[in-house]
Amino acid sequence: MRLFYFIITAICVALILLWPPGSLFLQKIRLDGQFDDWKGRTSYHIDFKDDASKSRRLKSMSWGTNENERILYFMVELREPVKEGSSYVCRLNLDINDNGSYNNAIDKFAKVLYEPTYDTGEVLVELYSSQGKLLSTYEGDWGEGSISGGSCFEFSIPMADLHVYPAQYIRFYLSTAVLQDDRIPSEGDIQWKPFPVVVRNRIWITFLALCWLTGSFILYRHRIWLFYYIWSAVGFTFLFILLFRGSLLEYRIEHLTGLALHHLLNYFDIITFVFDKAPGTILVFIKIDESWTTIDIDIESSGILEIGVFLGLILFYPVCRLSKRILYSLVGVAALLSFNMVRLMIIVAIIYSFGRNFNFLAHTLFGRILFFFFIVLIYWHLMTRPTLVRVKEDVENA
């Protein structure tokens, strides 16, 4: 038994320290005038089909955040290059309180000036209140020079200057100062929840894992089953989340979930876009609002959080044999992933039918309550009901 726990401890420590984080597979956004880090991220492109669009300058816009940073990043691409010595001005309008109005006291807008030189592009960003008071300025060589194209530039705005907290919904759209219909998106605006990914220190995770394993070993050896089950299941859940947060597994599951949801929604004629380097981010067109919203499939919406809780409850249940616990775990994980897809489709259907103002209710009320019911139902059929039947048989045969 000691050798078994020693091997398990060594494997856990190795996994925690060597498990590849998502940052190795996804470039961080950097304000350097280079734009390879924007490929595959969430974006909106203008489709120039009609003659009326020939005079428009805006071509596409991308947005995103980095791990452990509370900064909003934006990249703009123009249809035609800006000549050396000339300039281009656009305006990023921000609805901070997400109520559809851009004129409230809390709302803001950013005036962005792009001036390409021969080899670099100078960008000046001035952040204003909705009443026109200058709040902050940011500048740097964040655009293309005329020799490299002169049509792309990037910039960032700290969340603290916008008075935005993580996981808060905001709305925005980009426009030029010349043409009123030269804007991104073409109509309406984009709703976004800029939640930055947080990656924890793995040394601390390793220390917590060793404490958890030690406690589980002591409780198991002394056959204190109730405390063993609580300690082991809860500890496993926390370590599972800490380990897989920001990992390649989370990245892949979120991206595959978003891709599957994208194809399923197309059967119901709901327009969506999914991006290969923006894991779990889906851009959905809400017909009733004639605008766009981003659906972020994070560690909870992907089902990883619930899977961690479920595995902790199943794997350390001391009554069942190990082979049965492993079988129940595989069946339960498959069921949770299927139910999670149903939950996401219901959330999108509610927002699509009733508008973006139902975003909070769809996620928090309907989505979470429904999925909680699914988890309880699975656990009842796999563990609680068979245990009650076994206890009943033991009592009758006593």
Other beta carbons within 10 angstroms of residue 391's beta carbon come to: 11
* Letter string b/e over residues 34-51, b meaning 16 or more CB atoms within 10 A of that residue's CB: ebebbeebbbbebeeeee
Burial of 270-300, coded b for 16+ CB within 10 Å and e otherwise, reads: bebbbbebbbbbbbbbbeebebbbbbbbbbb
Phi, psi of 293 (to 5 degrees): -140, 150
pLDDT at residue number 106: 92
Report residue 234 as tokens.
Answer: 């809860």
| C-alpha Rg value of the chain to the nearest Å | 25
Task: Find the helix packing angle between 202-221 and 2-18, rounded to 10°.
Answer: 160
* Residues 170, 100: Cα–Cα separation, whole Å: 9
Report the alpha-carbon angle 94-97-102, nearest 5. 45
Integer CA distances (angstroms), 122 to 125, 140, 153, 176, 245, in order: 10, 6, 9, 18, 37
CA distance 227 to 231: 6
Residue 384: per-residue pLDDT: 76
- Among residues 188, 177, 186, the alpha carbon closest in space to that of 48 is found at 186
Q: Say what the pLDDT of residue 114 is.
A: 94
Query: What residue segments make up the domains of the chain, in order of their start?
Result: 2-20+197-397, 29-192
Taking the model in full, what pTM does it have? Answer: 0.77
The separation between the first and the last C-alpha atoms of the chain, rounded to the nearest angstrom, is 32
H/E run at residue 176:
strand 170-176
The tokens of 318 are what?
């001391």
Q: Could you read off the pLDDT tens digit of each residue along the chain, which spans 398 residues?
A: 455 556 666 666 665 555 544 444 567 889 988 888 898 888 998 876 654 556 788 999 999 888 778 899 999 999 888 888 889 999 999 999 888 889 999 999 999 999 998 888 999 999 999 999 999 999 999 999 888 888 999 999 999 999 887 778 899 999 987 777 789 998 889 998 876 555 556 677 777 878 888 888 888 888 888 888 889 888 888 888 877 776 667 777 888 888 888 888 888 888 888 887 777 788 888 877 788 888 888 777 788 888 888 888 888 887 777 788 888 888 888 888 888 888 888 888 888 888 888 877 787 777 778 778 888 888 888 777 777 777 777 677 76
